[in-house]
Structure 1
Amino acid sequence: MKQSLLKFQLVFEAVLLFFTLVIVGILLDRCDYRWDLTQEKVYSLPKATANILRELRPRPLNVLAFYLQEDDSRRALEIFLKECRRHHPDFRYHFYDPSRRPALAKKFQISEPSTLLIQSGDLEQRIIRPTEESFTNAILRILHPQSIDICFVKGHGEVELYGTEPTNYEMFKLALEGYNARTHEIVLSRDHVPDVCQVVALAGPRWELTQEEFSDLEGAFDRGKGILFLLDPMDPGTGKSFREFATKFGVTIGDNVVVDKASRIVGGDFLMPLVSQYFSRHSVSKGMKQATFFPLLRSIQPSSDPVPGLEVTPLAMTGAGSWAETDLVALEEGNATFDIKTDIAGPVPAAVAVERMPDGGPRGTDDAKPDTIHPPSSDAQKQGRMIIVGDSDFLNNSYLNLSGNKEFGIRLFQWLAKDDRFVEVQKPQFKFKPLLLDVPKRTMLVFSVLVIYPLVFFVVGGLYHVIRSRTS
């Protein structure tokens, strides 16, 4: 009887322990909470990210992460997305390997791995090689949706927008549409610059524009629109009208071709300069990590005579070992060498941004505090913006997915369209704080270690010994 009672008690305790563990597991699964005990909150979401996720709570968020199975950064991203899920009740994420799910990758137009697709209803944002800051700005654009109308100029031998030929812009057009942009084609002599156009782009024109067409572009700039020139090197004696127009805005377009022998080291070509130096304080180039390759590039740099009321900023520079070759005949014959008298020594600017200041003075750099959302002001919407790049081929079907070409191209259009919905996010880092003690504190520390602590030890030990002696 006693043995049966002991067995029953053992079984009952095991069952009770099992159900206790089940209940505790259910409670822990439903009550997911973490405590970040670090002073800098290193293991928590940045405040800006958490705040935007809380504002988006009424809307569902679905994240599709296309990462290779063996990608080491996949695990870190999954931890980050789990933390995001804690701040949004309807946040879901899924990981897919594009090499194992090619049909799904094709459906969502995923051209390269490490791509994040964020969906909320009919709205969609995509990020390549996401960071905490880029993810935060993507959900910010979902919170404040905005469509961009981009007009590509035709009629001067520009790059074709449609078609799968290597020299066309079909893939880049699809990439722009993935960022909520609508593309149009216009003829300046017939359509001028319609009001719907937020950005007017001339991609690789082969022939000169008329004075009336340049006047239309200048008028669009004065009305606060964005103008983008992607100008390839031209034959000697041509392109004079473009150089004269750029001079009015404080920009010098070089009649040259950039040579960069260092590009051979990374698998490029002498005439395909590697650009990895970016101006870190400008919105276009800030945070650019990937290098950009420009096939057949000409120099674009601020002129020596600045234009009052315009801020001219170089965005990207070639390497120190490059130069801008002015002897195009020798270059075609393969005999190009650097001439200190006529050539431009590297680093050579490859792109320049121009912005009209509302007060006629320089804006200066942006010293705004991190984790602060910066909506575009009414004055900013009235400022004309222009970017001139010394190449158009870097965005065509052949070179778009090469290194950081697509990212740089998207950034150009976002800045020109005044898509200034951004928040600067700085990930918390552990701070080194040395312990500095003055003389009284050092004396107190030494006294505590050498006197007080030993004294407490002996007193407690003595009391314990006395109590044991009396009770034994």
Structure 2
Amino acid sequence: MRVTRKTHWQIRLQNLFFTVLFLAIVGLIAALSIRYNYQADWTASGRNTLSEASQALLKQLEGPVTIISFAQGPSAKQQISQLIERYQRYKPDLELEYINPETAPDQVRKLGVASDTEIVIKKDGRQEKLQDLSEEGLTNALNRVARSAGTLIVFLEGHGERGPQGRANFDLGNFSHHLQTKGFQIQSLNLSTQPQLPEDTQVLVIASPQVDLLPGEVTLIQRYVNHGGHLLWLTEPGPLHGLDPLVEELGIKILAGTIIDPSAQLLMGRGNTAFALVPEYGDHPVSERLTSATLFPQAAALEATKKSKWQPQPILSTLSRTWLETSRLDGDIEFNQGEDAVGPFTIGFALSREHPSSQQEEAREEQNKSGSTTQRIAIISDGDFLSNAYLGTGANLDLGLSLINWLAHEDRFITIPARTRPDTSLQLSSMASWIIGLGFLLVLPVILLGTGLLIWWRRRQR
């Protein structure tokens, strides 16, 4: 082809047009990459993608969600960011914030954070703390913080009970505050002035009464239980103050005496004697997520009898070195062989049964409200562990919140199947290893050397 001035300008225009078109395509792709995001998970088990259960929850979750992290190390921040980014793909209004505990100690205390590995999930004035940094843990925390609104917890009063709004060491004001931050509604009820429980009562709490209840009040509580109501009963060593018919109906026996734990006595100090330490827990939704010990000042021992329609399951048990002291708790307390019973003792029962069959309309409404036909009751032989004085000890707060969640049927955890990693290791036979080794060490170098010599020889022949 003969190159003329005209063809020369045509070639230059073609090159210019190609350059402009190429830059325009690159700019368009860059603009689309900012606006649209596409990611593919090629792992064998899809471990870098949220499960269908998590995706379904995020689609139903309305409104913004804020996740606060206190991690400071680069590796910890990277781990948290990678997990949160998976959720942000399906919920863009989920925000992640980092707070430095050293520069904001007041905010850390306000949120009740104990370590920099915890994260706090906040939504619509409610919050949930999480230590298990995994998809299952975060999805269940989002589920709890989204579904706990509107649940009414009623505290019985009028008999010297621990007040849900009180600030004394004996009261439960701090525990009630934590319940309110999670969306629960708190209400006090005196049956002598209002002889009827609210219709939307989800859980009734009897917190260590100090004087006897009237027979009519006991009848109202029994009627509430017989109609399928959920109950948290915090008892104490000593008399039951008129609630003997209820404990007999539940099939629970409270032994005389106070539990003494020598190890708890050493941990709490010389002047503290009547403490029960629970470092290990059974397989139950209430206690399966507890990671540290709980402490119970002046707890009684419980036994389940066979005369009951309930299914009792022990959830709190002391160590074998504990004993049941039946004498007065003053002076030097020592174990008396032959007089004091030896542990371990049960100090907490979770009772459940199918919702009692009743033709009354309120029973059917209770079933629809709870979303389950299972009735639940928890009885703990000590109320001090939730008091203002001991709520921050060990896992006492976590235990109290787990009890309320379980009783209110807010323990509907989403099970995320474990993601295996079959593509992270390669198993080769001896023959395959020899073939690959010879290929890289001998065959491939020979091929490259031969190709180079062939190219060199052909160029010399030109």
Q: TM-score, normalised by structure 1?
A: 0.75
- Of the candidates 314, 318, 330, which is equivalent to residue 332 of structure 1? 330
Q: Which residue of 2 aligns with 1:285?
A: 287
Q: Which residue of 2 aligns with 1:55?
A: 60
Contact 1:230 1:391 in 2 (8 A): yes
**Matches of 2:228 and 2:317, distance apart in 1:** 27
| Equivalent in the alignment of 1:393 | 384
The one-letter code matched in structure 1 to 2:252 is V
Q: Does 2:180 align with 1:182? A: no
The 5 A counterparts of 1:66-465 are 67=70, 76-97=79-100, 100-101=103-104, 104=107, 109-113=110-114, 116-120=119-123, 122=124, 124-129=126-131, 131-132=133-134, 133-141=136-144, 143-144=146-147, 146-190=149-193, 191-234=195-238, 238-239=239-240, 241-242=242-243, 245-264=246-265, 266-267=267-268, 269-280=272-283, 282-303=284-305, 305=306, 307-308=308-309, 310-321=310-321, 323-329=322-328, 331-337=329-335, 339=337, 342-346=340-344, 348-358=345-355, 381-425=372-416, 428=419, 430=421, 445=432, 448=435, 462=450, 465=453
Task: Decide whether aligned partners of structure 1 residues 432 and 24 sit closer, same or farther in structure 2, where only a CA change above 3 A counts.
Answer: closer
Instruction: Verify the 8 A CA contact 1:67 1:113 in the aligned structure 2.
Output: no
Unaligned runs of 5+ in 1: 1-18, 361-375
Secondary structure at the aligned position of 2:126 is classed as strand
Contact 1:116 1:130 in 2 (8 A): no
Q: Displacement, 1:200?
A: 0.9
Does the 8 Å contact 1:221/1:385 carry over to 2?
Answer: no
1:213–1:72 CA distance, 2 compared to 1 (3 A): farther
CA offset digits 1:82-103 (Å, max 9, x no partner): 3322331222222234563356
Q: Secondary structure at the match of 2:111?
A: coil
Q: Which amino acid aligns with 2:57?
A: I
Describe the shift of the 1:227–1:100 C-alpha distance in structure 2 as closer, same or farther (beyond 3 A): same
Report the secondary structure of 1:388's partner residue. Answer: strand
SS in 1 for 2:402: helix
Rg bigger for which structure?
2
Deviation at 1:163, TM superposition (A): 3.1
Secondary structure of the 1:278 match is: coil
Between the aligned partners of 2:80 and 2:436, the Cα distance in structure 1 is 46
User: 1:458/1:130 Cα in 2 relative to 1: closer, same or farther (>3 Å)?
Assistant: closer
Q: 1:149: Cα distance to partner?
A: 0.8
Say if 1:148 and 1:181, in contact at 8 Å, map to a contact too: yes
CA RMSD in angstroms, aligned pairs only: 4.0
1:32 Cα deviation after fit: 5.5
* Alpha-carbon spacing, 1:99–1:459, altered in 2? closer, same or farther (3 Å): closer
CA contact (8 A) 1:276 1:316 kept: no
Distance in 1, Cα, partners of 2:368 & 2:298: 38
Cα pair 2:213 2:241 within 8 Å, conserved: no
Distance 1:94 1:464, change over 3 A: closer
SS of equivalent residue, structure 2 residue 90: coil
Q: For residue 294 of structure 2, what is the amino acid of its counterpart?
A: T
Q: 1 CA distance for matches of 2:73 and 2:388?
A: 28
Amino acid of the structure 2 residue aligned with 1:254: L
Distance in 1 between the 2:286 and 2:240 partners?
26
Secondary structure of 1:188's match?
A: coil
Q: Structure 2: which 5+ residue stretches go unaligned?
A: 1-23, 358-366
TM-score, reference length from structure 2: 0.76
The 1-side partners of 2:373 and 2:273 are apart by: 41
Once the two structures are TM-superposed, the CA of residue 231 in structure 1 deviates from its matched residue by 1.0
Worse overlay, 256-265 or 152-161: 256-265
Alpha-carbon distance in structure 1 between the residues aligned to 2:339 and 2:35: 73
Q: CA deviation at 1:39?
A: 2.8
Aligned to 1:328, the other structure's residue is in SS state: coil
CA offset digits 1:298-335 (Å, max 9, x no partner)? 123433x2524x211111222333x2414223x43323
Pick closer, same or farther for the CA change 1:274–1:467 going to 2, 3 Å. Answer: same
Tell me the number of residue pairs that the alignment of Structure 1 and Structure 2 aligns: 422
Aligned to 1:423, the other structure's residue is in SS state coil
Instruction: Give how far 1:150 is off.
Output: 1.1
The CA deviation at 1:354 is: 0.7
User: What SS does structure 2 have at the residue aligned with 1:94?
Assistant: strand
Pick closer, same or farther for the CA change 1:294–1:29 going to 2, 3 Å. farther
Whole-Å separation in 1 of the counterparts to 2:431 and 2:74: 53
Determine the structure 1 residue equivalent to 2:17. Answer: none
Q: Distance in 2 between matches of 1:22 and 1:203?
A: 68
Stretch deviating more after TM superposition (128-137 or 82-91): 128-137
The AA in structure 2 aligned to 1:87 is: Y
- Closer, same or farther in 2 for the Cα pair 1:214/1:200, shift >3 Å? same
Distance change >3 Å, CA 72–CA 349, structure 1 → 2? farther
- Residue type at the aligned position of 1:225: G
